[in-house]
């Protein structure tokens, strides 16, 4: 483990936040972040699993919210994004060969928790793509005591132009050596860099939207463009498999916005309905990023996480 850059010029994280480079079991170099040291009367440690295209600095404010509620916090740049090792010659392409490769990243983050001797119990907040990675980790029996999902990617709203690439055609594209090409309708530029606030798919909070746009402009090396054809098909394969599995017996809440246009809300509803004791909350006026939404939504989400984690950890 060695120090890594942490761009505190574009975030507001608790004092003591730092980043490290750790090598995953398969040799990929990952950037992990210690976002919030344990507060007094610590109730445990929260892992934040980000979504596709995201990076640890984006979750500095979330870590501050969690620390204020009694939790230490760590997070990660998934392989192929942020300042973790990019996997293709074109670093703007979001790509993995197999979706389960992300589980090596999960194991590396759990090792960081051990190395830093962070207090248990361990809890999970998983957003979007992180929701798929997180659910797979739970099925692998990673020692997590309770989980909160934000717009989990248990199904994807596929652009019309990309739908022919699903299934047999995609297999042919991959076999022909074109699987690393961008999914049609996507491009090398990260969404937040070019999207106008009006009708954006991420948030209804103008201040948070502008803040994310400034992050992308200040440190373009953190940004990620569209996914590869292989990534899309692996993601669809993984979400199908996850939906078939019996949900784990673990305290769980899931939040989704009523204006969701990125992940499949129906898949979330169906899986939560099968999850013993899980609670689904729909925020009608919210978009995809609940932790980057208007202050009342953000506050309510973190309050709900803290209440769930405190009950599961016996500190309520």
**Which CATH number belongs to the domain containing residue 194 in this structure?**
3.40.50.1820
Match 């990023």 to its residue by tokens: 289
176 pLDDT higher than 60: no
For the beta sheet containing 18-23, the strands, ordered from the edge strand earlier in sequence to the opposite edge, are 2-4, 18-23, 29-36, 71-77, 44-49, 122-127, 146-150, 252-257, 279-283
Structure tokens at 43: 């109730």
- Mean of the pLDDT values across residues 68-96? 98
Q: Above pLDDT 70, what percent of the chain?
A: 94
Structure tokens at 257: 């916005």
Q: Above pLDDT 90, what percent of the chain?
A: 89
66 pLDDT higher than 70: yes
What is the pLDDT confidence band of residue 315, given thresholds at 50, 70 and 90? confident
Structure tokens at 237: 């394969």
pLDDT in tens, 181-215: 998 888 999 999 999 999 999 999 999 999 999 99
Q: Which one is predicted more confidently, 201 or 233?
A: 201
Question: Residue 316 has what pLDDT?
Answer: 72
The pTM of the full predicted model, rounded to 2 decimals, is 0.96
Question: Residue 62 has what pLDDT?
Answer: 98
Number of domains in the chain: 1
Question: Residue 100 has what pLDDT?
Answer: 95
Q: Are strands 44-49 and 122-127 parallel, antiparallel or unpaired?
A: parallel
pLDDT in tens, 242-267: 999 999 999 999 999 999 999 999 99
d(CA 44, CA 56): 20
The whole domain housing 267 covers 2-313
- Mean of the pLDDT values across residues 97-102? 96
């Amino acid at each position: 483990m060695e120090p890594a850059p942490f761009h505190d010029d574009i975030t507001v994280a608790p004092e003591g936040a730092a980043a490290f480079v750790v090598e995953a079991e398969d040799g990929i170099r990952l950037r992990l972040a210690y976002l919030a040291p344990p507060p007094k009367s610590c109730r445990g440690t929260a892992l934040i699993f980000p979504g596709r295209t995201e990076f640890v600095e984006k979750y500095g404010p979330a870590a501050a919210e969690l620390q204020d509620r009694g939790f230490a916090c760590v997070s990660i740049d998934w392989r192929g994004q942020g300042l973790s090792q990019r996997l293709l010659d074109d670093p703007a392409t979001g790509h993995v060969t197999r979706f389960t490769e992300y589980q090596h990243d999960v194991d590396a983050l759990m090792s960081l928790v051990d190395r830093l001797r962070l207090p248990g119990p361990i809890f999970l907040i998983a957003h979007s793509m992180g929701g798929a990675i997180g659910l797979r980790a739970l099925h692998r029996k990673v020692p997590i005591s309770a989980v909160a999902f934000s717009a989990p990617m248990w199904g994807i709203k596929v652009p019309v132009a990309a739908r022919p690439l699903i299934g047999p055609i995609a297999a042919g594209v991959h076999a022909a050596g074109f699987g690393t090409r961008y999914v049609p309708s996507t491009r090398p530029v990260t969404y937040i860099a070019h999207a106008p606030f009006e009708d954006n798919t991420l948030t209804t909070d103008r201040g948070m939207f502008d803040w994310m746009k400034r992050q992308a402009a200040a440190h373009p090396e953190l940004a990620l463009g569209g996914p590869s054809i292989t990534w899309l098909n692996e993601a669809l394969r993984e979400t199908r498999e996850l939906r078939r599995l019996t949900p784990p017996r673990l305290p769980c809440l899931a939040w989704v916005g009523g204006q969701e246009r990125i992940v499949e809300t129906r898949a979330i509803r169906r899986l939560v309905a099968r999850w013993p004791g899980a609670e689904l909350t729909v925020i009608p006026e919210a978009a995809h990023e609940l932790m980057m939404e208007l202050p009342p939504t953000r506050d309510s989400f973190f309050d709900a996480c803290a209440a769930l984690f405190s009950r599961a950890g016996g500190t309520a």
